[in-house]
Amino acid sequence: MTARAPLPETERFARLRLARTDRIGPVTFKQLLDRFGSAERAIEALPDLLRRGGGDGHDLPPAAEIEAEIEAGARLGARLIVLDDADYPEMLAAVDPPPPMLWALGDTSLMSRPCIAVVGARIASAGGQRIARGLSQQLGEAGHVVVSGLARGIDGAAHAGALATGTVAVLGGGVDDVYPPDNAELYAQIVEQGCVVSESRIGARAQAKDFPRRNRIISGLSRGVIVVEAEIRSGSLITARLAAEQGRDVFAIPGSPLDPRSRGPNELLRQGAILCEGVDDVERAFSTLRTLREPPADNPFEGAPEDIDAAFLERVAALLSPTPTPRDELARALSAPIGLVAAALLELSLAGRATLLPGGLVSL
């Protein structure tokens, strides 16, 4: 892998500022970088993009707010890692689209080692916790870094089992948000011996909307995800689904049909997950040569003009519906170059008139 040139501090600041802008999620962030080549140039262009797209405001946070976040991170001893930094985890960079930035406490090099996630029920059985702890210890001894979400139950047991060999905790709130509070001692041990990571602002308290993003990072850092115990409707199964979408291996530990916490893993097995009864099953799966689905290398904005005609924007907007539609399908319907359509969709999304989705899809 070719070493990346360090990003200028002004560009790193601009990337954090862009990532904290309302209506700019990971898809829009990546497309703005693709179109303008840097966050600094994208920020300069934002007012015109919003005006042309029909937006009614400028949602860019003031520079002082970003400076305060960086200062809070420095006081905490946290490290800011932005997309394209040399130490941005390679596995996470292969996700479509990758998180724009991370705050990290502890040993950030762990995220660049071979990682595997171990997740499961918060209200876990004693047996399930014993399996998670023992399996994580064996995975660590075999050279894997164990990734989980620092929740009660299976997550906490997985971290505890892998403390001595390396573990990464991904949080929904800021890296200083110790949740649940009864995991405070485990959190302190992970900061000391492992790594705590979050996409959220320093000081942010976890909310329900933060956990899908947290789960996406857990699976994105990992070569595979092991589900120990989980009910059918659970965050652990969301993590497993995200892992499958990202081209990662999904493992499930089977359990008794009498225990509702076994329904999740057993359902994953019915859907084709890999049966996991121990570390040998993981090593066997990883010995199979596989290629992760990486985002396309081409820039969709190739040949896009600086300015887009307002009438063309309205023609694109008229074709959108709540059903996700591929960008190239819109280009065919309009008999227009893909770069022009991609640029129009970006402007409409910034104005709140379209929603950009992974894989080149768009909806209302």
pLDDT in tens, the chain (364 residues): 445 678 999 999 999 999 999 888 899 999 999 999 999 999 998 888 877 766 665 578 999 999 999 999 999 999 999 999 999 999 999 898 899 999 999 999 999 999 999 999 999 999 999 999 999 999 999 999 999 999 999 999 999 999 999 999 999 999 999 988 999 999 999 999 999 999 999 999 988 888 888 999 999 999 999 999 998 888 899 999 999 988 899 999 998 888 888 999 999 999 999 999 999 999 999 887 565 544 555 688 887 888 888 899 999 999 999 999 999 999 999 999 999 999 999 989 888 889 999 888 898 8
Tally Cβ neighbours within 10 Å of residue 258.
6
Task: Give the separation between CA 261 and CA 148, rounded to whole angstroms.
Answer: 18
Return the closest-CA partner of residue 183 out of 164, 155, 146, 212.
155
Q: Is the peptide bond before 180 cis (omega within 30 degrees of 0)?
A: yes
**pLDDT given for residue 332 in this prediction:** 93
pLDDT at 1: 44
Look up the pTM and report it: 0.88
CB 35 within 8 Å of CB 341: no
Residue 358 pLDDT: 86
Burial 48-62 (b: 16+ CB within 10 A, else e): ebbebbbbeeeebbe
**Residues whose CB falls within 8 Å of the CB of residue 21, separated by 6 or more in sequence, listed in order:** 46, 59, 60, 61
What pLDDT shows up at residue 69? 96
Cα separation, 360 vs 364, in Å, equals: 14
Taking Cα atoms as reference points, which of 184, 164, 170, 328 lies closest to residue 242?
170
Give pLDDT, residue 2.
47
pLDDT of 54 reads 66
- According to the 3-state scheme, what is the secondary structure of the chain? CCCCCCCCHHHHHHHHHHHCCCCCCHHHHHHHHHHHCCHHHHHHHHHHHHHHHCCCCCCCCCHHHHHHHHHHHHHHCCEEEECCCCCCCHHHHCCCCCCCEEEEEECHHHHHCCEEEEECCCCCCHHHHHHHHHHHHHHHHCCCEEEECCCCCHHHHHHHHHCCCCEEEECCCCCCCCCCHHHHHHHHHHHHHCEEEECCCCCCCCCCCHHHHHHHHHHHHCCEEEECCCCCCCHHHHHHHHHHHCCCEEEECCCCCCCHHHHHHHHHHHCCCEECCCHHHHHHHHCCCCCCCCCCCCCCCCCCCCCCCHHHHHHHHHCCCCCCEEHHHHHHHHCCCHHHHHHHHHHHHHCCCCEEEHHHEEEC
CB atoms within 10 A of CB 124: 23
